[in-house]
Amino acid sequence: MNATGQDSTGIVVMGGSGRMGRMLCGLIDAAPNAHLVGVTEAPGHPWAGHDLGEAMGGAPSGVPVTDDPIEVVARAQAVIDFTTPAATVAMSELTAQARAVHVIGTTGLTPEDLTVLDRAAHHATIVRAGNMSLGVNLLTQIVQQVAAALDDDYDIEIVEAHHRHKVDAPSGTALMLGEAAAAGRGVTLDAVADRGRDGITGARDRGAIGFHAIRGGDVIGDHDVIFAADGERITLRHQATDRSVFARGALKAAIWGQGRGPGAFDMLDVLGLR
């Protein structure tokens, strides 16, 4: 494992056995300015109570895997969290107490979940985004600008595709893009979102923002934002071909948050795009 020091950010990775968790662990291990303090797993997980390196089938690493995160969070400066809404909300209470940066890539959060996270942000730095990649965050800026430039003669449709294991729809990224389009139009997404069409639905509502979710295979993440008018269509697209773009963004956010102070932030803040 890499060396620790005053300039090295100690990080806890939640759900280290998952695809994103494993990628984050490897990325942090190779980073010159960060190190792993520990990894958390759900109670009863076969990795819990073991050394991370041994759990991954290698040599001992000195990094513990635990189903009781209190002790490792107390020793960390940041937690990176791509897990479930329930686990994220529970962790936010610990990061608030520890004053640790909480980087959240979890999607499917309810308004009630977000209320809890907002309370935690009064005590610690929270960086939450539906997508941690630079490309997607640039795309949200472009979508907002295009939506502001075009009137309701241009229908907005958002099409997203993900792997068969994704459990929430629309994706967090699709909702980010929808929020950006709604902001460009000067409306709230809740007022104009159309998330389901089936059967005899009638004509499309003018000004609606439609969402469509595709699930299949091992698709990492494809997102199209379509502006369709009579005679022309504009399509803005982002395709993720490697999950490392999300891991790199999350690590950047964890380091960016050091010394930032309490508050709720997103990747636009981290990337200086706001």
- The residues assigned a catalytic role are 162, 166
In Å, how far are 64, 106, 174 from 171, measured between CA atoms? Answer: 32, 10, 5
| CA separation for the pair 48, 27 (Å, rounded) | 21
List Cβ neighbours of 116 (8 Å cut-off, separation of 6 or more): 89, 92, 93
| CA separation for the pair 40, 65 (Å, rounded) | 6
User: Token pair 């993900």 is at which residue?
Assistant: 162
Any idea of the CA torsion for 93, 96, 101, 106, to the nearest 10 degrees? 20
φ, ψ of residue 36 to 5 degrees: the values are -85, 125
Helix, strand counts (H, E) of the chain: 10, 12
| CA separation for the pair 177, 156 (Å, rounded) | 11
| CA separation for the pair 137, 139 (Å, rounded) | 5
**Residue 207: left if φ>0, alpha if ψ -120 to 50, beta else—which one?**
left
- Describe the chain by its helix, strand, coil percentages, rounded to 5: 35, 25, 40
- Which helix H or strand E contains 251, and what residues bound it? helix 244-256
- What does DSSP say about strands 78-81 and 125-128: parallel, antiparallel, or unpaired? unpaired
